[in-house]
Amino acid sequence: MPDEPRILPTVTTPRDLRRLKPAQLDALAAEIRDFLVTEVSKTGGHLGPNLGVVELTIALHRVFSSPTDRLVFDTGHQAYVHKLLTGRQDFSRLRGRGGLSGYPSRAESDHDVVENSHASAALSWADGIARANQVAGLRDRHVVAVVGDGALTGGMAWEALNNISSGQDRRLVVVVNDNGRSYSPTIGGLAQQLDTLRTTQSYERVLALGKATLQRGGPPGRFAYDALHGLKKGLKDVARPQGLFEDLGIKYVGPVDGHDRVMVEHALRRAKAFDGPVIVHVITEKGRGYTPAEEDVADRFHAVGKIHPETGLPVAPSRFGWTAVFADEIVAIARQRSDVVGVTAAMLHPVGLAPMAEEFPDRVFDVGIAEQHAVTSAAGMAFAGLHPVIGLYATFLGRGFDQLLMDVGLHKAGVTFVLDRAGLTGEDGASHNGMWDIAMTSIVPGLRLAAPRDETTLREELREAVAVDDAPTVLRYPKGALPEALPAVQRVGGAYGPDVLARHAGDGGARVLVVGVGAFAACAVEVGERLAQHGIGGTVVDPRWVLPVGSELLELAQGHDLVVTVEDGLVTGGAGSHLRDALAAAGTHVPVQSHGIPRTYLEHASRAELVAELGLRPADVAREAASAVAHLTGATEPATIDR
């Protein structure tokens, strides 16, 4: 018997879904899961979340009419299925230069609204769009926000719900995609309430009865669904977390098995018919249909690199990375200091606090996707005698910046921020590049920021950071594997002073101080070597503590004719900018040539591609430095430095 023709290639717009028969829709769901496992295993990406929303996304596009009806995903990494159903089926360069983004993208499709990889924001977007529809008199349009239960732990989501509840005539549907996880199991009071509803045996019996009723056929399910709803109402005294929403004035529908497409469609149609805000509670399983993901308790398949699709194992095992070093060192510190505690915002494993939580479960606090609360809570802990260490991705620090400035900084609280994935992260795109932190934190009076260059300096600077009890400290490091060790030639000054990495004798001309910040210290060493090969001498230094600019670094700069800085943060307001300002304030007029990231949003591409595009390769920096030296010395031709 010949193979059945594939259905997915025939679906180029959501309208195509409405012509498919039930058996074809089931086959389509299976095809999509096969496609995701096959394609994402080649490129890497968010596999688990998308395997869990296949039936839900099909149902959304059958009930609502995108892009007239607007679908907003929170977070956007669960939108791969949405991309497939809206005509984007070339995943060969997913998250790569010229390929599809790993998140919704207006540049790709009219079906996309917001590149929202920062959680808990979709409800505010949806509320705003629904308000605009109301003002414009567009009564035939709906707005649908698909929100993970993890995202509902964020305060912004509850601010939005508070406002959504006031708009009883706005056509807004909130789909709570409840899989009990964000990066890690969802925590907090809301999670406990949802878990009660998810696991109560009475509700499980109701769901089973409803499914059986629907499967018996008859009229297209309205009576069956109404019967199911009536049974559910009778159980409110047993378990009624829906009261949490209904007390806000938001109608609640659910719980619904998110992998039963028929039931999901019935729930969504019922919500659509209601002339006001509705919450549809959908129970899903992250990694659904892919055995390695279903059997994995550590959620390794939330986001994967290149993997073997049959086993889920990495194609190339990861090298020991920055996060692992932090994880090891913070446990060692915690053993020695009972006042040190860990704080994370729903990212216990990704930021490396899980080992500390295992050994000291009463000293690590996961507050959910609530960075603002995390930071101010840490300020309170510091006031009460603890030293909190907050682990965040660098891109998420902005979500708690007001609290850093006014609660931690103003009160001189001894709180350490450990920023993972600082600088260029690449494939996850504009919202995930952790490039803003140096410029942002530099305006906080008294704050100290360190950027380790290798394993040794990470361990060293973490200990130096937690020794500060009268000001916030920040430790930033990039994504990925550790570089080779870069031993210092000399430590200048005391414990917080810079490291000299190399000295080069020149031809007696201009001397260049090359300053490499953090992960770009190795680049700076190569820049110094390239300049030396062309007779341009100087010194290569790692400032270690970037903010504030230390007096030792200023003294080093005064002994040179040109300072060249290279960093993977913003040029404007970055380390080089602050060094230039400090030199000027000290009355030292040494020119500073800064290399870093311009103040712009970077499209998704590999880190190496971005480094090349931004002119941050050693040859690029050395060439610019040689040109500046030629200008300073009056040479007719700068040194020719090859790539």
Decide which of 229 and 627 is more confident: 627
The residue type found at 550 is: G
Decide which of 247 and 1 is more confident: 247
Residue 485's pLDDT is 94
- Considering only CA atoms, which of 47, 114, 83, 97 is closest in space to residue 426? 97
138: left (phi over 0), alpha (psi -120 to 50) or beta: beta
Asked if residue 108 lies in contact with residue 88, where contact means CB atoms within 8 angstroms, the answer is yes
Given the structure tokens 């073997």, which residue do they identify?
A: 308
Residue 221's pLDDT is 41
Question: Rounded to an integer, what distance in angstroms lies between the CA atom of residue 147 and that of residue 150?
Answer: 8
Residue 567 inside a domain? The answer is yes
Q: Is 285 annotated as a binding residue?
A: no
Give the distance from CA 503 to its chain's centroid: 39
pTM above 0.75, yes or no: yes
Active site residues: 286, 371, 399
Question: Among residues 418, 444, 476, which one ends one of the domains?
Answer: 476
Given the structure tokens 């430790």, which residue do they identify?
A: 475
Decide which of 240 and 338 is more confident: 338
Residue 438 corresponds to which tokens in the numbers above?
A: 């140096």
Question: Rounded to an integer, what distance in angstroms lies between the CA atom of residue 626 and that of residue 605?
Answer: 29
Residue 494 corresponds to which tokens in the numbers above?
A: 């005391």
Answer yes or no: is pLDDT of 593 > 60.
yes
Mean pLDDT of 63-82: 90
Q: Is 118 annotated as a binding residue?
A: yes
Residue 376 and residue 283 in one domain: no
Q: Is 371 annotated as a binding residue?
A: yes
Residue 181 inside a domain? The answer is yes
User: Alpha-carbon torsion 47, 52, 57, 60, what sign?
Assistant: negative
Question: Among residues 476, 505, 527, which one ends one of the domains?
Answer: 476
Return the minimum-mean-pLDDT range out of 136-145, 152-161, 296-305, 582-591.
296-305
Return the minimum-mean-pLDDT range out of 11-20, 161-170, 405-414, 556-565.
161-170
Residue 517's pLDDT is 97
Instruction: State the DSSP code for 40.
Output: H
Residue 153 and residue 285 in one domain: yes
Percent of the chain with pLDDT over 70: 82
First-to-final CA distance of the chain: 58
Residue 302 inside a domain? The answer is no
Question: Among residues 294, 314, 337, which one ends one of the domains?
Answer: 294
Question: Rounded to an integer, what distance in angstroms lies between the CA atom of residue 472 and that of residue 449?
Answer: 9
User: Alpha-carbon torsion 45, 474, 493, 596, what sign?
Assistant: positive
Residue 471 and residue 503 in one domain: no
Residue 300 inside a domain? The answer is no
CATH number, domain with residue 616: 3.40.50.920
Burial of 318 (0-12, 13-18, 19+ CB in 10 A): exposed
Sorting pLDDT into bands at 50, 70 and 90, what band is 120?
confident
Mean pLDDT of 580-594: 93
Q: Is 290 annotated as a binding residue?
A: yes
Q: Is 101 annotated as a binding residue?
A: no
Return the minimum-mean-pLDDT range out of 83-97, 370-384, 409-423.
83-97
3-state secondary structure 135-174: HHCCCCCCEEEEEECCHHHCHHHHHHHHHHCCCCCCCEEE
Instruction: State the DSSP code for 70.
Output: E
553 phi and psi angles, rounded to 5 deg:
-70, -35
Mean pLDDT of 634-638: 66
Mean pLDDT of 411-424: 96
Instruction: State the DSSP code for 423.
Output: B
Answer yes or no: is pLDDT of 1 > 50.
no
Residue 360 inside a domain? The answer is yes
Return the minimum-mean-pLDDT range out of 81-85, 115-119, 162-166, 628-632.
115-119
Decide which of 27 and 219 is more confident: 27
Sorting pLDDT into bands at 50, 70 and 90, what band is 75?
confident
Q: Is 505 annotated as a binding residue?
A: no
Answer yes or no: is pLDDT of 412 > 90.
yes
Residue 633's pLDDT is 80
Answer yes or no: is pLDDT of 400 > 70.
yes
Residue 225 inside a domain? The answer is no
Residue 357 corresponds to which tokens in the numbers above?
A: 């939580």
594 bridge partner residues: 565
- Considering only CA atoms, which of 363, 370, 343, 354 is closest in space to residue 298? 354
Return the minimum-mean-pLDDT range out of 150-159, 427-436, 439-448, 457-466.
150-159
Mean pLDDT of 177-181: 74
Residue 466 and residue 512 in one domain: no
Residue 389 and residue 271 in one domain: no
Sheet of 172-178: strand order equals 70-74, 143-148, 172-178, 278-283, 251-257
Answer yes or no: is pLDDT of 122 > 90.
no
Residue 398 and residue 534 in one domain: no
249: left (phi over 0), alpha (psi -120 to 50) or beta: left
Residue 372 inside a domain? The answer is yes
Residue 138 and residue 30 in one domain: yes
Asked if residue 287 lies in contact with residue 46, where contact means CB atoms within 8 angstroms, the answer is no
Answer yes or no: is pLDDT of 200 > 70.
no
Sorting pLDDT into bands at 50, 70 and 90, what band is 616?
very high
The per-residue DSSP string of 336-382 comes to: H-TTEEEEESS-TTTTT-HHHHHH-GGGEEE--S-HHHHHHHHHHHH
Residue 290 and residue 344 in one domain: no
Answer yes or no: is pLDDT of 192 > 70.
no
Instruction: State the DSSP code for 409.
Output: I
Residue 129 and residue 275 in one domain: yes
Mean pLDDT of 15-41: 91
Burial of 229 (0-12, 13-18, 19+ CB in 10 A): middle
Answer yes or no: is pLDDT of 555 > 70.
yes
Mean pLDDT of 486-508: 90
Instruction: State the DSSP code for 24.
Output: H
Q: Give me the domain span that covers residue 555.
A: 496-633
- Considering only CA atoms, which of 122, 111, 5 is closest in space to residue 67? 111
Other CB atoms within 10 A of residue 297 CB: 6
Mean pLDDT of 303-325: 73
Answer yes or no: is pLDDT of 541 > 70.
yes
Question: Rounded to an integer, what distance in angstroms lies between the CA atom of residue 167 and that of residue 187?
Answer: 29
Contacts of 228 (CB under 8 A, 6+ apart): 206, 207, 209, 210, 213
Give how many domains the chain has, as a whole number.
3
Given the structure tokens 């101080």, which residue do they identify?
A: 513
Residue 361 and residue 389 in one domain: yes
Decide which of 316 and 94 is more confident: 94
Question: Rounded to an integer, what distance in angstroms lies between the CA atom of residue 202 and that of residue 207?
Answer: 9
Q: Is 260 annotated as a binding residue?
A: no
Residue 140 and residue 249 in one domain: yes
Answer yes or no: is pLDDT of 247 > 90.
no
Pairing of strands 512-516, 387-393: unpaired
Question: Rounded to an integer, what distance in angstroms lies between the CA atom of residue 33 and that of residue 47?
Answer: 10
Answer yes or no: is pLDDT of 256 > 80.
yes
Residue 552 and residue 412 in one domain: no
Sorting pLDDT into bands at 50, 70 and 90, what band is 237?
very low
Q: Is 117 annotated as a binding residue?
A: yes
Contacts of 288 (CB under 8 A, 6+ apart): 33, 51, 52, 54, 259, 294
CATH number, domain with residue 421: 3.40.50.970
593 phi and psi angles, rounded to 5 deg:
-110, 115
Q: Is 324 annotated as a binding residue?
A: no
**Radius of gyration of the chain, Cα coordinates, nearest whole angstrom:** 27
Sheet of 416-420: strand order equals 364-366, 340-344, 387-393, 416-420, 473-476, 448-450, 545-547
Q: Is 151 annotated as a binding residue?
A: yes
Question: Rounded to an integer, what distance in angstroms lies between the CA atom of residue 367 and that of residue 345?
Answer: 5
Give Cα separations from 229 to 221, 223, 636 (angstroms). Answer: 12, 10, 84
Residue 460 inside a domain? The answer is yes
- Considering only CA atoms, which of 366, 384, 376, 386 is closest in space to residue 409? 376
